């Protein structure tokens, strides 16, 4: 999550297929979007489907947005939509108790976490770029959510910005959850190696399409196939040529096309492999 001012009305929606010569590729998996915060989530979902994006994970950033994600997944009845429950570092002052409360509520409900399609704890982590919460409270809320993901056997979705040492330090100290995803990966090859050494997955966003992508692009080219994921982080971080517009899952093929080019891979092949990696990363297969 970053910040955005546009309202997401249809007139505002980018036309995903505009001169993307990969129309017709299917099976893309958007591992990180904030669909539940859209004004017309079902319309956005339809556009994603039309663009070949078959699976999405709706990511919570606090209690309300996590509940909205769970409700959208439930009410849409969509088989390829999942939700996460978490507290973003920007909201760390609220404390991770809200996440613990929601997880235990879901775990006690009929059908539990599986029925609720809650697949991960997060997004959570450290953001020393914006520092919207005191760093000590960010570290506490992150460590508590790492523990919750391990306790409930869920995937951990990590947001880290300008905080590699503390992020990796907290993970090194903790009981590591079975599956860890570094979302919106912004490191280079050295950070990629350290994350991969933890057994984690790296998820690449629209940043990889920016001219300034440099080391992130290197990491995307270097990342082992079975550890590589794709995401929009929508409505934020729209990829080139839609940069500055409101992002949405339907634009994921632009990110996929850029990563495929960096890896010298056919886009359809990347769509299939990254979707299979996503199913493994969320413990769905
Ligand atoms: Zn984030």
CA of 28 to the centre of ligand 1 (A): 20
How many angstroms does the Cα of residue 240 sit away from the middle of ligand 1? Answer: 19
Mean pLDDT of 156-181: 98
Mean pLDDT across 217-229: 98
Q: Residue 10: its pLDDT value, please?
A: 46
- Ligand 1 mean position to 88 CA, how many Å? 7
User: How far away, in angstroms, is 205 Cα from ligand 1 center?
Assistant: 10
Which residues contact residue 7 at a Cβ distance below 8 angstroms, ignoring those fewer than 6 apart?
Answer: 39
Average pLDDT value over all residues in the chain: 93
Tell me: the pLDDT tens digits for 41-78?
999 999 999 999 999 999 999 999 999 999 999 999 88
Note the pLDDT tens digit of each residue in 93-146: 999 999 999 999 999 999 999 999 999 999 999 999 999 999 999 999 999 999
**How far apart, in whole angstroms, are the C-alpha atoms of residue 10 and residue 199?**
40
CA 133 to centroid of ligand 1, rounded, Å: 14
Helices (H), 109-248: 112-116, 135-152, 164-173, 189-197, 214-222
Give residue 23's pLDDT.
Answer: 65
Please give the domain boundaries of the chain with CATH numbers for all domains: 27-281 (3.20.20.140)
Distance CA 218, CA 208 (A): 9
pLDDT at 16 over 50: no
The rounded Å distance from CA 247 to ligand 1 centre is 14
- pLDDT over 90 percentage in the chain: 90
Peptide bond preceding 285 in cis form (omega within 30 of 0): no
| pLDDT at position 9 | 46
Pairing of strands 53-58, 81-85: parallel
- Residue 233 confidence (pLDDT): 98
* Planar angle of CA 49, 69, 280, nearest 5 degrees: 65
Distance 184 CA to ligand 1 centre (A): 7
Neighbouring CB atoms inside 10 A of 15's CB total 12
In this prediction, residue 124 carries a pLDDT of: 98
CA–centroid distance, residue 123 to ligand 1 (Å)? 6
How far is Cα 165 from Cα 283, in angstroms, rounded to an integer? 27
1 Cα: distance to centroid of ligand 1 (angstroms): 4
Tell how far the Cα of 268 is from the centroid of ligand 1, in angstroms: 26
Question: Is residue 187 within 8 Å of residue 214, measured between CB atoms?
Answer: no
CA of 124 to the centre of ligand 1 (A): 8
Lowest mean pLDDT among 75-79, 95-99, 160-164, 236-240: 75-79
Note the pLDDT of residue 236.
97
- Residues 239 and 232: their CA atoms lie apart, in Å, by 8
Q: What is the pTM of this model?
A: 0.93
Longest CA pairwise span in the chain (Å): 49
Query: Measured in angstroms, how far is the CA atom of residue 110 from the centroid of ligand 1?
Result: 30
**Distance from the alpha carbon of residue 65 to the mean position of ligand 1, in angstroms:** 13
Written as six digits, the tokens of 267 are 């886009």
pLDDT at 169 over 60: yes
Q: How far is the CA of 120 from the centre of ligand 1 (A)?
A: 14
Q: What is the distance in A from the centroid of ligand 1 to the CA of 237?
A: 10
**Per mean pLDDT, which range of 15-29, 73-87, 132-146, 176-190 is the poorest?**
15-29
Q: How far apart are CA 213 and CA 227, in angstroms?
A: 19
For residues 225-252, average pLDDT: 97
CA of 72 relative to ligand 1 center, distance in Å = 20
């Amino acid at each position: 999550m970053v910040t955005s001012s546009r309202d997401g009305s249809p007139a505002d929606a980018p036309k995903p297929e505009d001169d993307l010569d990969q129309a017709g590729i299917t099976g893309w998996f958007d591992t990180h979007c904030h669909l539940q915060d859209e004004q017309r989530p079902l319309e956005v979902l339809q556009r994603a489907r039309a663009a070949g994006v078959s699976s999405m994970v709706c990511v919570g950033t606090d209690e309300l947005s996590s509940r909205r994600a769970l409700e959208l997944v439930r009410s849409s009845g969509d088989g390829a939509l999942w939700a996460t429950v978490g507290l973003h570092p920007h909201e760390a002052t609220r404390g991770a108790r809200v996440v613990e409360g929601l997880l235990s509520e879901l775990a006690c409900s009929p059908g539990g976490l599986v029925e609720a399609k809650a697949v991960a704890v997060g997004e959570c982590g450290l953001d020393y770029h914006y520092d919207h919460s005191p760093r000590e409270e960010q570290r506490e809320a992150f460590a508590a959510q790492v523990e919750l993901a391990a306790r409930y056997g869920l995937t951990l979705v990590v947001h880290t910005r300008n905080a590699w040492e503390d992020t990796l330090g907290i993970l090194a100290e903790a009981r590591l959850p079975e599956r860890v995803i570094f979302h919106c990966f912004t490191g280079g090859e050295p950070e990629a190696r350290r994350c991969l050494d933890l057994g984690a997955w790296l998820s690449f966003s629209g940043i990889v399409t920016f001219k300034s992508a440099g080391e992130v692009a290197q990491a995307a080219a270097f990342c082992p196939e079975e550890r590589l994921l794709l995401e929009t982080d929508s409505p934020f971080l729209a990829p080139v040529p839609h940069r500055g517009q409101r992002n949405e899952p339907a634009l994921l093929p632009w990110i996929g096309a850029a990563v495929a080019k960096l890896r010298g891979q056919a886009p359809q092949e990347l769509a299939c492999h990254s979707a299979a990696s996503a199913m493994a990363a969320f413990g769905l297969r």
